């Protein structure tokens, strides 16, 4: 897994490491790594124009030392000193190397953002905010030092203006805010410079799964497998109005490798599921009862179900079973009105978007979207469930574990019905024996990867995503064996 840490965790590790090193050695390691990445981005260093935006902290020192390295190799480097103070040693080295102090932002091939570091929180103050806006409007490539200025390194929050980097060079370890939106959208490409922090880091704050991680976790049939050993997932979804949700949830479950899908619903969605998925075992319900359904090893409940009394009773009956349950969509609206339904001994995985989680927690949706980690963790603590919070960065949170941040996906997934497919995939993984956190994280990874493959830069439908799930699963094994990119 790719692990990430809060600013406090990073600072503690740096202090421990610095106690074992000569003074200034850690900054030199960071600055050299930054300079080498910048040189690679420029291609030709000699004669290139570099502007370094320098704040008051150590990030400004890193940027000045990197600027000195580039100046010694023939770049024309200028530094705009924006802070109330400047790192003295870094500025002296910069001037000795031939760097110049600028009065204003001029034209450059590369801008190095060293305005603020990982300790900064809240909105950028002046003149930093204006400089960030001007850097964003420039034609130059922008490299952020450690974290784009304006992005909270520990949470990914962006309180106002922030630098939009083409590339962020982060030192020692990845910071949590670089992986979580909205902050992640400002990072650009992410390059990690090893400065020796590894042995001094604590347990991570968050973790992003790799293709190899997911491949290792996915249930796979063996010679002795039958449909029950592979997992039987029940799907309670769809209504007279939303028949397609049932079709998509069942499709997601089947495409993810369920041994059997037992679908329950009323007549209109039953007809649609039967026509689309003859593999499903279907029970048409006249009353919200599960007595005649048969053996189920996990349930998916909620997509397109409606929120009337009939749906409420069916949700209650599903949650009264003793198997894992994935709760999505309309079922989330129902449990928001009666949270006691979630009090059960078997695992519960809820899959809300920001609006649905806002109803569960009683906070505005924009606050949830702006602080995804905080609210996912709060929901775990208050509701006693595992939370898969969907969005531009999908996160999976469970008690006493690092939050899983999903690295796959595409903006094209923001279309109706894709969440129903995700629910089906997650239900299959629960039925196959994965715990709620692993099932949620693997489902999100596969769903995002299938979305990328299905879209290929063009619009897609939810049915396209479901159809691409097997291809995504096959690609995991090839990527993990070849040592390919672990995004």
Boundary-marking domain end, from 207, 240, 273: 207
Kindly state whether residues 127 and 240 are assigned to the same domain.
no
Edge-to-edge strand ranges of the sheet holding 189-193: 100-102, 76-81, 49-54, 110-114, 141-145, 167-171, 189-193
Same domain as 217, residue 249: yes
CA–CA distances in Å: residue 96 to residues 80, 91, 99, 101? 16, 9, 7, 12
Beta carbons within 8 Å of 417's beta carbon, 6+ residues apart: 244, 245, 248, 461, 462, 463
What mean pLDDT value characterizes the chain? Answer: 95
Verify that 226 and 246 share a domain, yes or no.
Answer: yes
What are the backbone angles phi and psi of residue 159, rounded to the nearest 5°? Answer: -85, -15
Where does a domain end: 151, 176, 207? Answer: 207
Q: Residue 82 falls within a domain, yes or no? A: yes
Positions at the binding site for K(+): 59, 113, 149
Per the annotation, binding residues for (6S)-NADPHX are 58-62, 117-123, 128, 146, 245, 304, 353, 420
CATH, residue 30? 3.40.50.10260
Q: What are 62-98's pLDDT values in tens digits? A: 999 999 999 999 999 999 999 999 999 999 999 999 9
Distance CA 325, CA 304 (A): 16
What are 375's two structure tokens? 């609210």
55 shares its domain with 152:
yes
User: Considering only CA atoms, which of 155, 154, 145, 137 is closest in space to residue 115?
Assistant: 145
The encoded tokens of residue 271 equal 């007809």
Q: Residue 477: what pLDDT?
A: 77
What's the pLDDT score for residue 485?
38
Neighbour tally for 190: CB within 10 Å: 17
Residues 131 and 258 in one domain: no
Task: Give the confidence band of 224 by pLDDT, cuts at 50, 70, 90.
Answer: confident
Residues 121, 257: one domain?
no
Question: Would 437 be classed as within a structural domain?
Answer: yes
State the binding site.
Answer: 58-62, 113, 117-123, 128, 146, 149, 245, 304, 353, 390-394, 419-420
Within-domain flag for 123: yes
**Domain span including residue 360:** 211-482
Task: Check residue 479 and give its pLDDT.
Answer: 55
Q: State pLDDT tens for residues 264-311.
A: 999 999 999 999 999 999 999 999 999 999 999 999 999 999 999 999
User: Is the residue at 464 inside a domain?
Assistant: yes
Task: Tell me the C-alpha distance between 319 and 346, whole Å.
Answer: 9
pLDDT in tens, 161-183: 999 999 999 999 999 999 999 99
pLDDT of residue 220: 84
Q: Does residue 79 belong to any structural domain of this protein? A: yes
Q: Which of 184, 207, 230 is the last residue of a domain?
A: 207
- Does pLDDT of 483 surpass 50? no
Whether residues 203 and 215 share a domain: the answer is no
363-417 residue pLDDT tens = 999 999 989 999 999 999 999 999 999 999 999 999 999 999 999 999 999 999 9
Number of domains in the chain: 2
- Is residue 487 in a domain? no
- The CATH number assigned to the domain holding 410 equals 3.40.1190.20
Domain shared by 150 and 227, yes or no: no
Mean pLDDT over 117-123 rounds to 92
For residue 76, what are the β-bridge partners? 49
Residue 360's SS3 state is: helix
Residues 359 and 477 in one domain: yes
Question: Average pLDDT of 117-142?
Answer: 96
- Is position 277 within any domain? yes
Strand order in the sheet with 325-327: 174-175, 2-5, 206-208, 403-405, 395-397, 386-389, 348-350, 325-327, 298-301, 232-236, 260-265, 281-284
Binding-site members for AMP are 390-394, 419
Taking every pair of Cα atoms in the chain, the longest distance, rounded to a whole number of angstroms, is 84
Domain identity same for 143 and 66: yes
Contact 446, 473 (CB under 8 A): yes
Tell me, yes or no, whether 84 lies in a domain: yes
**Residue 185 sits in the same domain as residue 215:** no
User: Are 305 and 442 contained in the same domain?
Assistant: yes
List, as one string, the DSSP characters of 289-350.
--TTS---SEEEE-TT--SSHHHHHHHHHHHTSSS-EEE-THHHHHHHH-GGGG--SS-EEE
């Amino acid at each position: 897994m790719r692990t990430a840490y809060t600013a406090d965790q990073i600072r503690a590790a740096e202090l421990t490491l610095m106690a074992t090193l000569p003074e200034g050695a850690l900054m030199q390691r960071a600055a050299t790594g930054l300079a080498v990445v910048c040189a690679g981005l420029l291609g030709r260093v000699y004669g290139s124009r570099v502007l370094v935006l320098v704040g008051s902290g150590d990030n400004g020192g890193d940027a000045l030392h990197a600027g000195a390295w580039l100046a010694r190799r023939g770049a024309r480097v200028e530094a705009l000193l924006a802070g109330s103070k400047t790192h003295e040693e870094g500025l002296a080295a910069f001037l000795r190397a031939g760097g110049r102090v600028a009065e204003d932002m001029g034209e450059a091939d590369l801008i190095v953002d060293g305005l603020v570091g990982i300790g900064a929180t809240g909105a950028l103050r002046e003149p930093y905010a204006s400089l960030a806006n001007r850097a964003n409007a420039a034609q130059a490539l922008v490299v952020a030092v450690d974290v784009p200025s304006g992005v909270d390194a520990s949470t990914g929050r962006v309180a106002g203006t922030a630098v939009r980097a083409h590339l962020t060079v982060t030192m020692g370890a990845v910071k949590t805010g670089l992986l979580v939106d909205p902050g992640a959208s400002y990072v650009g490409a992410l390059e990690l410079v090893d400065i020796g922090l590894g042995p001094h880091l604590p347990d991570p704050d968050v973790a992003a799964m790799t293709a190899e991680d997911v491949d290792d976790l996915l249930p796979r049939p063996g010679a002795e497998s039958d449909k029950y050993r592979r997992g039987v997932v029940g799907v309670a979804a769809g209504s007279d109005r939303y028949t397609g949700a049932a079709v998509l949830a069942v499709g997601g479950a089947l495409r993810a490798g369920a041994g059997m899908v037992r679908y329950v619903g009323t007549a209109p969605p039953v007809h649609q599921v039967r026509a689309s998925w003859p593999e499903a075992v279907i029970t048409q319900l006249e009353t919200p009862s599960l007595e005649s359904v048969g053996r189920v090893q996990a349930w998916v409940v909620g997509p397109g179900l409606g929120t009337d009394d009939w749906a409420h009773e069916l949700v209650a009956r599903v949650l009264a079973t003793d198997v894992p349950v994935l709760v999505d969509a309309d079922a989330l609206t129902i449990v928001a009105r009666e949270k006691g339904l979630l009090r059960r001994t078997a695992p519960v995985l809820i899959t809300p978007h920001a609006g649905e989680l806002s109803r569960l927690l009683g906070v505005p949706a924009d606050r949830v979207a702006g602080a995804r980690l905080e609210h996912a963790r709060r929901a775990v603590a208050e509701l006693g469930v595992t939370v898969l919070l969907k969005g531009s960065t999908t996160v999976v949170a469970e008690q006493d574990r690092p939050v899983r941040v999903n690295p796959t996906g595409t903006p094209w997934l923001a279309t109706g019905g894709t969440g129903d497919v995700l629910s089906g995939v997650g239900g299959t993984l629960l039925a196959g024996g994965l715990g709620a956190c692993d099932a949620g994280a693997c489902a999100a990874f596969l769903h995002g990867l299938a979305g990328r493959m299905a879209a290929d830069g063009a619009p897609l439908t939810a049915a396209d995503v479901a159809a691409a799930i097997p291809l995504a699963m096959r690609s995991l094994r090839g990527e993990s064996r070849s040592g390919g990119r672990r995004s």
